Amino acid sequence: MVIHSLKLNDFRNYENIDVEFNSGINFIYGKNGQGKTNLIESLYLVTHLKSFRTSKVSDLTLYSKKISSVQTDLSKQNVRHDIRITLHENLKKVLHNQKIVNYTSEYIKNFLSLLFSPDQLVAYKEFPLERRNFIDRILFLIDKKYFQRIKEFNRIKKQKNVLLRNGKKGDIFVWNQLMAVVIPEIIESRELIVEKINEVLEKIFKALTGRDACLKFFYGNDLNSKTDLSPDSILKYLAEKMDQEIGNGYCLFGPHKDNFWMTLDGKKDRQAFSQGEYRIAYLSLQLAMNKIISGMLGFKPILLLDDIFSELDETVCENTIAYITRSDNQVFMTSTAIPEKFMDIGDSFCISNGGLSTA
Ligand SMILES: Nc1ncnc2c1ncn2[C@@H]1O[C@H](COP(=O)(O)OP(=O)(O)OP(=O)(O)O)[C@@H](O)[C@H]1O
Ligand SMILES: [Mg+2]
């Protein structure tokens, strides 16, 4: 995938920019508070139809304005796509090749950018929901049935939650039956992607760090230690726990409680990783996803790497640049540093107060 051009009108601190990008590496640099992350956010918006920093659409429009727009011309597997997003107060209108996009889920199955940002890293580290969303977003792309299964599970969970609050045992049993069928399917897809991640993760971590250390990704399936995973056993387990669930008024067991974590030479991330190690491990995970998508779907996601080099030592920075250059993705990297090292491997853009100039 390549974003060829980007036009921003009254988006965050950009009044008006119209820029063409390199199909390889784009290095964006500038002092603090100039608009680097805002630019990355606009590119993320084009591929995810949402921001990674706010759920309020109106936050994205320049203060004092009511309407903003993001326009881009991108290509995927040699097909061009014209994307126009208009943000009007809290409403978002998306045109894809002049046609209105009614379903975000359909749109985002076509495109993908992988984001590394300090905010995203904190959220990933802190919240199991973020980790599940990260895995799910990739599974939606590579496993066509997975999206339907998650949608179905969420529908069942919502209905069951209402009944749990009302304590209607007979009705709850019926929803448990439906849940017991879909849960093993979700687990199976999640297990499969974790297996795929582990086929490449260790090698990527070694390439980035130059260290002979073993990075592994784990899936903690909520029901694993509680029951075996056949529909009958899950149904039996949920029946046993019905009173407890009624007491709480919401579903306590299932894939919405699943967790993911990493280990480095057997030591668990949150307890044992240094700040830098967590950053590299998270970046390795994104790059593992990149490899999986490229291999399975035949296109390369866009890599959005915001403020990537802070806290990384010089060796890791150099190895990362070498890895990314070899990976042949379109890359947007931001930094506060002047990009001497990047001058000959891509295009550089200097950002100052919402203005952008080529270096
Ligand atoms: N809706 C908005 N309208 C106008 N300005 C905004 C809006 N939202 C954010 N800004 C401003 O945009 C500026 C640039 O923000 P951004 O996060 O892109 O900076 P940055 O270049 O990434 O800085 P850093 O290096 O510190 O990460 C900030 O000063 C912020 O206050
Ligand atoms: Mg920033």
Q: Whose CA is nearest to atom 7 of ligand 1?
A: 12
Q: Which residue has the tokens 């792309």?
A: 141
Domain check: are 278 and 313 in the same one? no
Domain check: are 74 and 171 in the same one? no
Domain check: are 96 and 229 in the same one? no
Q: What is the pLDDT of residue 34?
A: 96
Domain check: are 71 and 4 in the same one? yes
Domain check: are 289 and 327 in the same one? no
**Closest C-alpha to 156, from 177, 141, 134, 139:** 177
Q: What is the pLDDT of residue 45?
A: 97
What is the DSSP track for 170-209? HHHHHHHHHHHHHHHHHHHHHHHHHHHHHHHHHHHHHHHH
**Ligand 1 neighbours by CB, cut-off 6 Å:** 12-13, 30, 32-38, 59, 61-63, 307, 336
Q: What is the pLDDT of residue 116?
A: 95
Q: What is the pLDDT of residue 339?
A: 66
Q: Whose CA is nearest to atom 31 of ligand 1?
A: 33
Domain check: are 6 and 76 in the same one? yes
Give the distance (Å) from ligand 2 centre to CA of residue 119: 9
Domains contained in the chain, number: 2
- Of ligand 1's listed atoms, the one at least distance from the Cα of 31 is 25
Tell me the residue ranges of DSSP E strands in the chain: 2-11, 14-20, 25-29, 67-76, 79-88, 91-96, 99-100, 113-116, 215-220, 259-264, 267-268, 302-305, 331-335, 346-352, 355-358
Last residue of a domain, one of 258, 279, 297: 297
Domain check: are 84 and 6 in the same one? yes
Domain check: are 105 and 217 in the same one? no
Domain check: are 105 and 186 in the same one? no
The domain of 200 spans 127-297
For 125-180, what is each residue's pLDDT tens digit?
999 999 999 999 999 999 989 999 999 999 999 999 999 999 888 899 999 999 99
For 62-92, what is each residue's pLDDT tens digit?
999 999 999 999 999 999 999 999 999 999 9
Query: Model confidence at 337, in pLDDT bands (50, 70, 90)?
Result: confident
Give the CATH number for residue 15: 3.40.50.300
